[in-house]
Structure 1
Amino acid sequence: MKNVLSALAICLATSTAAFDMEAMTDAERQTFRDEIRAYLLDNPEVLMEAIGVLEAREQQAQVANDVELARTNLDALHNDGHSLVWGNPEGDITMVEFMDYRCGFCRRAHPEIAELIETDGNIRIITKEYPILGEQSVVAARFAVATKIVAGDEAYKNISDALMTMRADVSEDSLTRLAETFALDTDAIIATMSSDEVTTVLEENRLLGQRMNISGTPTFVVEDQMLRGYLPLDQMQQIVAQIRDEG
């Protein structure tokens, strides 16, 4: 409805630009409004065209704003010192993913991102824990970050992959079983979950996401382009190719 009203305002502003509405009498003004109304009712495609123009302008403005946000926050995106960097660390394209283990679209994207990284061979990817879907999301993220602190990057990557495909509810029992699968020090990880270090990692990610107006997962930042939501593998490949061509 907001877009429709905005589009109608554009139509009215365009139609009345050559007229001084203030100089009209009340009767003339009402007649003019009735003519506009009748015209729009007889030609609704004009209104749809205006809506299309408005939406295109809004999209262009959003893309420009996202580019500025990505550039402004580049150091925090690429060099926070706590996020996992994988793929090709020397790759010519850097992709940052904000993800939540309980997010269905994150789960859907997970194997496709892995395939993109493997088949391309020249992408550096950075994983940002961004739990926004409730308590189980937060617990899973804390467990993953604690694993990285206690056992290192490889263990974190294994746990992160497993959490993304785990169907059971996130609980201490399910997380303990998961850690035991990889022969990790479960007690140390569980103890670290509530540490200030883990809290700081998640808080820094949350604040970064807020600065970048990220309200959903997955969100990807590929160089200076923000991709909000799930995209199929072929579209991701096209975007990467486009960025390389433009670079």
Structure 2
Amino acid sequence: MKAVLTAAVLTATALPALAFDPAQMTEAEKEAFGVAVREYLMANPEVLVESINVLEERRAADESKNDALLVENNKDAIFNDGHSWVGGNPDGDVTMVEFIDYRCGVCKQAHPVLEDLVKRDGNIRWILKEFPILTQESDMAARFAVAIQQEVGPEAYKKAHDALMETRGPINLEVLGKLAGDLGADSKAVLNRMNTEEVSDVIRKNHQLAEQMRIMGTPTFIIGGEMLRGVPAGGLDAAIARARAEKQG
């Protein structure tokens, strides 16, 4: 058996990959080879970790390429839809798009970080896309934000957005009506607009775009030609830098 085992291992390690054909092995050689491989992996488990890491890197690279293709194929709807709020520096050299849900805890945590990033950088065009997916309150808050933008304008929308991101309590018509009044808007007009086709059309188009982009969670960012499904551990600065480098290159 040892002779067969040795022969199998030598065959697998010494010959070129194309020359090693398990189909040509006898049943005894196959069994011995399997035992040898198992013993090797048990003695060197780091090989499995390395293999998993390589597989994960390849999977991530494939996903990144697919996401970049999705961005390219939907760039008009992403960057110039005509209904999403555009802030930061509208003439900035890098565009950052964020899909948000006002009931998303990570979105709330990221909000002050994004504010600091946009202010500190000074050259980021920031687009917000209402993408309510978590609760009925998510949909209600998104409709309110869109209604504020349509009724009052982009400055009031941003104030509403900030307030909704900072809200920790329930979101209902009473809360939203008071917020509209605080923003100097006609509360009744805003609440009535929330269920109009004009507002529904914005929410619907954002959901259709997200479906095309295979976006299933918030926050999701598109920076330049790159899609980030969540907030990277190191923040968004690296993605901003990559977008600038790609644009300059």
How does the TM-score come out when normalised to structure 1?
0.88
Query: What is the CA-CA distance between 1:75 and the residue it aligns to?
Result: 0.4
Paired amino acid for 1:33: G
Query: Is the CA contact 1:109–1:231 (under 8 Å) kept in the aligned structure 2?
Result: no
Paired amino acid for 1:245: A
Aligned residue in 1 for 2:61: 60
Query: What is the CA-CA distance between 1:73 and the residue it aligns to?
Result: 1.0
Query: What is the CA-CA distance between 1:29 and the residue it aligns to?
Result: 1.8
Q: Given the alignment of the two structures, is residue 194 of structure 1 paired with residue 195 of structure 2, yes or no?
A: yes
Change (3 A) 1:176 1:15: farther
Query: What is the CA-CA distance between 1:50 and the residue it aligns to?
Result: 0.7
Q: Given the alignment of the two structures, is residue 245 of structure 1 paired with residue 245 of structure 2, yes or no?
A: yes
Paired amino acid for 2:139: V
Between the aligned partners of 1:178 and 1:18, the Cα distance in structure 2 is 73
Between the aligned partners of 2:231 and 2:240, the Cα distance in structure 1 is 15
Aligned residue in 1 for 2:5: none
Aligned residue in 2 for 1:125: 126
- Write out aligned runs for 1:74-113 (5 A): 74-113=75-114
Between the aligned partners of 1:140 and 1:114, the Cα distance in structure 2 is 20
Change (3 A) 1:173 1:147: same
- The 4+ residue runs of structure 1 with deviation greater than 3 A are 14-18
Paired amino acid for 2:27: D
Equivalent pairs, count: 234
Q: What's the Cα RMSD here?
A: 2.0
Between the aligned partners of 1:20 and 1:106, the Cα distance in structure 2 is 53
Percent identity, aligned pairs only, is 46
Which has the higher relative contact order, 1 or 2, with Cα contacts under 8 A spaced 6 or more apart?
Answer: 1
Query: Is the CA contact 1:86–1:124 (under 8 Å) kept in the aligned structure 2?
Result: yes
In the alignment, structure 1 segments of 5+ residues that lack a partner are 1-11
Larger Rg: 2
Deviations 1:18-67 (A, max 9, x none): 43222223232222212211211111111111111111111111111111
- Write out aligned runs for 1:181-220 (5 A): 181-220=182-221
Aligned residue in 1 for 2:4: none
Query: Is the CA contact 1:98–1:217 (under 8 Å) kept in the aligned structure 2?
Result: yes
**SS of equivalent residue, structure 2 residue 128:** strand
Query: Is the CA contact 1:90–1:122 (under 8 Å) kept in the aligned structure 2?
Result: yes
**SS of equivalent residue, structure 1 residue 94:** strand
Change (3 A) 1:39 1:16: farther
Between the aligned partners of 2:163 and 2:196, the Cα distance in structure 1 is 22
Change (3 A) 1:203 1:34: same
Query: Is the CA contact 1:99–1:106 (under 8 Å) kept in the aligned structure 2?
Result: yes
Aligned residue in 2 for 1:227: 228
Query: Is the CA contact 1:168–1:174 (under 8 Å) kept in the aligned structure 2?
Result: no
Query: What is the CA-CA distance between 1:152 and the residue it aligns to?
Result: 1.5
Paired amino acid for 2:179: L
Between the aligned partners of 1:174 and 1:212, the Cα distance in structure 2 is 33
Change (3 A) 1:18 1:45: farther
